[in-house]
Structures are given as C-alpha cells and as structure tokens.
Amino acid sequence: MDFFEASLGRLHQLRFPSDLSFTRDGTAVVAAVRPAVHEPRQSPQSRVWRFSLDGAEAVQLTNGPGGDGLPHLSPVDGTLAFVSDRALQGRMSLFLKDDQGERPLGDVAGTIEDMRWAPDGESLIVMAADRGLDGGATNGAQRLTWGEPDDPAVTSPANARRRLFRVRTDDGSTVEVGPSKLSVWEFELLGDNAALAIVSADPSERGWYHAALAKIDLATRGATILHRSCWQLLAPSANPCAKRIAFLDGWSSDRGLVASDISILDIATGKISTVAPSGMSSITSMKWRDDDSLWFTGWSRLGSVYGVTRLDGSIEWMTREDAIIGMNSFSAGITTAPDKKGFAAVRESDGAPPEIVFKSGAEAFAWSAVSNLNGDVARDFNAYPEVRAIAWKGADGVELEGLVLLPRDGAKEPRPTIVDIHGGPSWAVRRAYNPGDALPFATAGYAVFLPNYRGSVGWGKAFGMLNIGDPAGAEFQDILAGLDKCVAAGISDPDRLGISGASYGGYLTAWAVATTNRFKAAVMVSGIANQLSSHYSCNHDFHAFINGGPLSEERYRRVAVDRSAITRLDKPTTPTLMIHGDGDRCTPLGQAQELYAALLERGVESELVVYPREGHGVRERDHQLDAWRRTIGWFDRYLGSPR
C-alpha cells in the first residue's frame, strides 16, 4: 500500500493552469494556477501567475489569502483584473492590480463567475451569481453560499439570478446592466454597450437546458431573443463587423459540455447556417479570426483538433493530436495571440501532466513549453502505467474506442480488471495525464478498461446522440462488448472483474449491479439509482433529455422508471460501495441512500460513505485519500489484491 499511497501523494502535487490571457505585447501570458486538492473548510488556493512565452520567467502575481482566479488584462494598459474570495470565503469579488498594487473594486452582489473588459478599458462587465443558486456539475454542483449559514435556506425563482454589472475602474461605481427578468449563463461583449448572451427565464440549473441566444442592450437592460433551440447553447460571439454570430447548438448532458457543429446566425436575415470543418462536429470553442473565418478547437476521438475554418466549411489548416488541448477535459480550447498568428493552450497527454504551451503559428511543428508547473511530478511518478488504445464493435456493429491502463510490472497473465465508466455522458476518456482519473487503480496493480460508449463526445454529433431515449440500453452493451474484447485479448481475468464510475458512470455502475452478476465488486461515486426521484430532487433537467423527452409525459416517464437500477434489483449479488458528497445537488445523496437500503434489503453486502462539505465529486485532500483507500480496499477484498 505504501507505493500506492506515494502515487496518490504525487497526484495531489499537480497544479492546473487555466484562463490564459496574453499581455498586450504578446510576449507573455497570465493564467490562474490551482492545486489538485484543497484543505478542509478552505476554498482552493489558486493564484495568478505570469509566464514569458520563452519559458524563461514565471512570476506569481497574487498571494491570496483565499483563491484568486479569472485573470483578465486591460486592453489599454497592463492593469490586471482578477477575482478572489479573500474578503469573504466562497464569494468571489473583483480586484485590480497595477503599478500601485492591489485593490478591491466595486460592490457586486453575488459571486463573480466571469468578466470582460470594456474596449475602452474604463470599466468591466462582470457576471455574478446570487446567493442560493447552484454551481454546475463540472464545478461541484453545490449551493452557492458564503458568510453565515442560510437559516432558513430558501429556494425560489424570484430571489436569485445570474446578473450582469458594469464596474468602473476609476471609482468602482457599480450598476446592474443585464436584463431584469432573465438569468445570464455566459456572455461576450459587442462594443461598449451591448452583449451577446445565453439567457433563460428559469434561473435554476434546469433553465440552462432551455436557454436562448439573446442580444442585450447594456444601457437600457433590454434583451432581444435571437435564437431558440430544442438543444443546448454555448459560446456566442460576433464577427468583427458585427453582422454574423457564431455559437454552438447541440445536446449536452451538463452545463459547459456542448460539443457540436458551429452555427452561424446572419443578424440581418435571421438565417442560420452550419459550419462543420472537414466533417468535424465536436467543436467546443471558437473565435473569429476575421469576418469570414474562425479559429476552432474541439474533440477528435481520443484527442483534440484545432485550426482555422472558413464559413463555407473549408479548412485553411487543421491539426489533430492525441492529447487534451484545453484547460480541462470538459472543453477544448486555445487562446490566440495579439498577432492573430500564434496561440497558447494548456496541454496534457500520456505521461505529460498539464502545462502551458505555445505555437508561433500554423506552420510550427511542435509546441514550445511556457510553464514548468508539474515537471517534478512527471519525473518522479515511477508507477506511470502503459496506456493502450483499444477498439471494438458494439452489438449493432457501431465502431467504438477506449483506453486500457496496464501496470508496468511485467506480468503476462490476465489481470484483475476494473471497468471505469466516464460520466456525462457528453464527455469521453482521452489521452490525458490521468485519463478518467483512473491512475490510482493502475498504481494499485489493476488493469483498467476505460470505454467510450455511444453518446461519448469526439466522434461527431450523431454519435453523441445515439443513447438519447435509450439510457443503460445499447450503451451498456457497448461497455460489456469492450470488456469481452479485453478478456479475449488476454488483458482481463474474467473471474476477477470490478466496475466503477462517477455521475453518469455511477448510474451505469448501479445498472450493472442490478442487471448482471458478472462483476465481483462495484464502487458507485455520485451516481443515480432512481431516475424518477433523481429528476425531482436534482437541480438540472438532464433526465428530460436522456430519456427522450420530459418526464411530465407518461411515455418518457416509463423509460426513466424502466431504466433505473432501483426497479431492476431482482437478484443482485455484487458487493457495492457507494461514495457521495452530502451537498451534491446534481446527483443528490438520496440516490446512494436508496440503492444502499435496497441492496441491504436483498442481503447484498454494501457500504455507504458520505463526505461532508463535498458536492458532485470529492475535492478535499483528506477526503480524496480516504475515498481512494476505501475504493482500492473494496476491490482488493473481493477481487483479490494484485499487489
């Protein structure tokens, strides 16, 4: 266990850069750098750094206390705007840093989630969430609160929204400039007095699933709806002449995970066209290069793709890499330099932890290193496994891909194997430093199978929608077929199989416990056992889409009930460990409690572990260590330790 513990310690030393912004002269970038974990009752101690593009200098610009993030450099001078909760833990407020030092700025109600400098540099437009709203699933899915606990905690559509404010840099005067009856999920500026935004009347997480594209007049606070969709929207931006708007429009299981074609709205005619560069339809971010072309970044199979496309879909240039190009595995992205030729990104891949990198242009063959945040971790992680790509076919012949992690211990015989199922499902396992967060399994001696089942993102828009209306159906058979491939290849011992997953992966883990006795042990993390009760106790509207339609209609409600583990527990035998955060509002704690009680009622060995102060996932250092120790101990107990 000592070797395993040392590996966990190494992973906790990782640092993650994000939110890149170029200096005006294009010689450096600033970025937020956060630690892998945080201490109990503290916010993540992120800091803002500046990195020269030649990699020669790295300077920490902020020192907390609390967490500092969202660095944005002024378009007219070197002033840095950033947010921090140093004044009140949990509430991100606006700060400026210049030659005179740091100072708080403005009086924004709520916690700031995004901001933009006005083109003249005389003010900032900030987006803030009111107390009582929730964070998204990719950010913990917990109730946003700060200061004294809510007593009582009131939830009402009338008392909280995500709002826009203008904050002047000279005197800090703060004025609300967003629409009075709409909640703003994201925005981009159109000059000094207008913005494009994704908005909804419902301010809860459910509202995001039914949001619209709007133009907001920041002077009058009026909003004009430009486009409504039956799917989810992301990343609106206007071309330089402000005649066309680019945005993403497609199915997404979670806020921020839209990956689709690029949609183009002609403002004068209202006509919408689609741009799919060379058939690519898993784009997650884009930026106008000029009036007729766009930078784009997205997912491509087990890696990423980026380049420049014209509006007719023809490619000026495009590069694919077996790596994550973006600040996380949720959204691929690059940050373009002031010269509109070079670009920076956060990059990670097999054996290479996340670092900031730079290319001087499309013709550059390789990335140049900008940061060296994790070199010591990469060098000293002696237990890093072999990573193999694996391909197979689903039951109906659909082509599928995934990864297998193998400990480097020289063993030739089939191994005890853990099937680790990714969440979303609008997500995927990719070539990353810690693919699927599964490195601890491999360092503990297990083979790990990481399947990308139908509905995963990176194989095109149609593939990403194949599981809609069929949750736990063909997608679960995809996973079993991939496991059969691992057994046939001599990788996996068919008598020593375990299964695990978080979020939607936890849902499919619960489904495995209910519908098959193939696995000797299971660990469900932040999972779903009962779709009907989850739909009416969670904070989002995912279930209304994955089941094919709203659960207010009987035909879709029947699908949700039929495809819930809690209704299928006829003869379960798989010992099951459930791990959950007590503040999770995406997959509420009641889901684990229901499955735990149902398994005990049927005589199946089970254990429920609930972590205080945690939401959708486990983020505190001691909680992570405890969860991994329990998880590995559970599989060792029922599969037989491979060490």
Q: What is the pLDDT of residue 154?
A: 81
Alpha carbons within 13 angstroms on the beta-carbon side of residue 525 total 21
Cβ-based burial of 38 (10 A; exposed 0-12, middle 13-18, buried ≥19) = middle
Identify the residue with better confidence: 174 or 11.
174
The predicted-structure confidence for 289-325, as pLDDT tens digits, reads as follows 999 999 999 999 999 999 999 999 899 999 999 999 9
Helices (H) and strands (E) in the chain, counts: 11, 37
Q: What is the pLDDT of residue 643?
A: 82
Start-to-end CA span in the chain (Å): 9
Q: What is the pLDDT of residue 178?
A: 96
Encode 440-464: b = buried (16+ Cβ within 10 Å), e = exposed: bbbbbbbbbbbbbbbbbbbbbbebb
Tokens of 179: 């629409």
Is the confidence at residue 92, as pLDDT, over 60? yes
Element holding 611 (H helix, E strand): strand 606-611
- Spatial distance between the Cα atoms of 338 and 22, rounded to a whole number of angstroms: 7
User: 270-279 contacts: CB < 8 A, separation 24 or more?
Assistant: 270/226, 272/227, 273/311, 275/246, 275/309, 275/311, 275/312, 275/313, 276/313, 277/307, 277/309, 277/313, 277/315, 277/318, 278/313, 278/315, 278/318, 279/460
Residue type, 598: A
Tokens of 308: 């420049």
The phi, psi pair for 123, rounded to 5°, reads: -155, 170
Q: C-alpha distances in angstroms, 524 versus 593, 625, 634?
A: 12, 17, 12
Q: What is the pLDDT of residue 156?
A: 76
Element holding 73 (H helix, E strand): strand 68-73
Q: Which residue has the tokens 């014209």?
A: 310
CB of 627 within 8 A of CB of 429?
no
Is the confidence at residue 19, as pLDDT, over 90? yes
Query: What's the rounded mean pLDDT across residues 209-227?
Result: 97
Angle ∠(600,602,604) on CA atoms, nearest 5: 60
The predicted-structure confidence for 579-603, as pLDDT tens digits, reads as follows 999 999 999 999 999 999 999 999 9
Query: What's the rounded mean pLDDT across residues 571-580?
Result: 97
613 conformational bin, left if phi > 0, alpha if psi -120 to 50, beta if neither: left
Q: Are strands 415-421 and 315-321 parallel, antiparallel or unpaired?
A: unpaired
Is the confidence at residue 3, as pLDDT, over 80? no
- Spatial distance between the Cα atoms of 131 and 110, rounded to a whole number of angstroms: 6
Record: fold of 383-639: Rossmann fold (3.40.50)
Q: What is the dihedral of CA 111, 114, 118, 123, to 10 degrees?
A: 20
Is the confidence at residue 202, as pLDDT, over 90? yes
Alpha carbons within 13 angstroms on the beta-carbon side of residue 422 total 26
Is the confidence at residue 137, as pLDDT, over 60? yes
Query: What's the rounded mean pLDDT across residues 514-532?
Result: 97
The predicted-structure confidence for 419-432, as pLDDT tens digits, reads as follows 999 999 999 999 99
Q: C-alpha distances in angstroms, 283 versus 6, 334, 400?
A: 38, 12, 20
The pTM assigned to this predicted structure is: 0.96
Q: What is the pLDDT of residue 325?
A: 97
What confidence category does residue 4 fall into, taking pLDDT thresholds of 50, 70 and 90? confident
Using alpha carbons, select from 602, 549, 548, 551 the residue that is nearest to residue 574: 602
Is the confidence at residue 363, as pLDDT, over 90? no
Q: What is the pLDDT of residue 519?
A: 98
The predicted-structure confidence for 51-82, as pLDDT tens digits, reads as follows 999 999 999 999 989 999 999 999 999 999 99
DSSP label of 134 = B
Residue type, 17: P
Q: C-alpha distances in angstroms, 34 versus 13, 37, 47, 376?
A: 11, 8, 7, 16
The predicted-structure confidence for 601-638, as pLDDT tens digits, reads as follows 999 999 999 999 999 999 999 999 999 999 999 999 99
Q: What is the pLDDT of residue 27?
A: 95
DSSP H helices, 502-567, are 504-515, 531-535, 543-546, 554-562
Beta strands in 118-257 (DSSP E): 123-129, 162-168, 174-176, 183-189, 194-200, 212-217, 222-228, 232-238, 244-250
**Average pLDDT of the chain to the nearest whole number:** 94
Angle ∠(296,298,299) on CA atoms, nearest 5: 160
Query: What's the rounded mean pLDDT across residues 514-534?
Result: 97
Using alpha carbons, select from 34, 20, 98 the residue that is nearest to residue 64: 34
Is the confidence at residue 532, as pLDDT, over 60? yes
The predicted-structure confidence for 430-476, as pLDDT tens digits, reads as follows 999 999 999 999 999 999 999 999 999 999 999 999 999 999 999 99
Q: C-alpha distances in angstroms, 44 versus 37, 456, 612?
A: 7, 30, 16
Is the confidence at residue 1, as pLDDT, over 80? no
Residue 364: CB atoms within 10 A of its CB come to 14
